[in-house]
């Protein structure tokens, strides 16, 4: 992965030039959702269809992620607060034009389940930012499908 990205903190999720925010309800409680996000990194490949490989690295401080289509990401966890938030930044990627990427999964109790809000925050070249904006609908579908599949798995 030849491209090193600018290291960003959790504040980048709110200040990034491009922010895509999606939300969906789940029947699983926040504790179980957080466990799936934080403690079972390899499991991401089972419920997030775009993910082909997910591995915890650096004694749990980071992740190595591969996506369908060849995308690769080396990430650092920037927030992991039990039952509330799980966030990471991308440190290295093969995505052309990216300068900074962070993602946040915010968990809010909702009835007996969880409202999951995913924020995809990026900075990069003008063509990269445009490509992310154009991909909004597809990213939303991927998020909704992943959350629905995770909810099915957690309901077993």
Note the pTM of the prediction, 2 decimals.
0.95
- Would you give the DSSP letter of residue 70? S
> For 13-58, what is each residue's pLDDT tens digit?
999 999 999 999 999 999 999 999 999 999 999 999 999 999 999 9
Cβ contact 97:125 at 8 Å: yes
Tell me: the pLDDT tens digits for 70-81? 999 999 999 999
pLDDT band at residue 2, thresholds of 50, 70 and 90? confident
Nearest to 92 by CA among 80, 76, 70: 76
Q: What is the band of 87 on the pLDDT scale with cuts at 50, 70, 90? A: very high
Which positions ≥6 away from 69 have C-beta within 8 Å? none
From the list 104, 101, 140, the residue with the least C-alpha distance to 122 is 101
Do residues 36 and 43 touch, judged by C-beta distance below 8 A? yes
β-bridge mates for residue 21, sequence order = 119
Q: What would you measure as the largest C-alpha separation in the chain, in angstroms? A: 45
């Amino acid at each position: 992965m030849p491209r090193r990205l600018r290291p960003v903190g959790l504040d980048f999720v709110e200040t990034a030039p491009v922010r895509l925010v999606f939300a969906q309800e789940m029947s699983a409680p926040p504790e179980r959702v957080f466990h799936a996000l934080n403690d079972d990194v390899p499991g991401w490949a089972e419920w997030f269809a775009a993910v082909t490989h997910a591995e915890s690295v650096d004694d749990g401080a980071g992740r190595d992620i591969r996506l369908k289509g060849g995308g690769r990401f080396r990430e650092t966890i920037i927030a992991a607060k039990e039952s509330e938030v799980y966030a990471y930044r991308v440190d290295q990627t093969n995505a052309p034009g990216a300068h900074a990427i962070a993602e946040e999964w915010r968990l809010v109790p909702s009835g007996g389940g969880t409202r999951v809000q995913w924020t995809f925050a990026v900075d990069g070249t003008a063509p990269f930012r445009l490509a992310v904006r154009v991909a909004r609908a597809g990213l939303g579908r991927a998020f909704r499908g992943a959350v629905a599949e995770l909810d099915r798995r957690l309901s077993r």
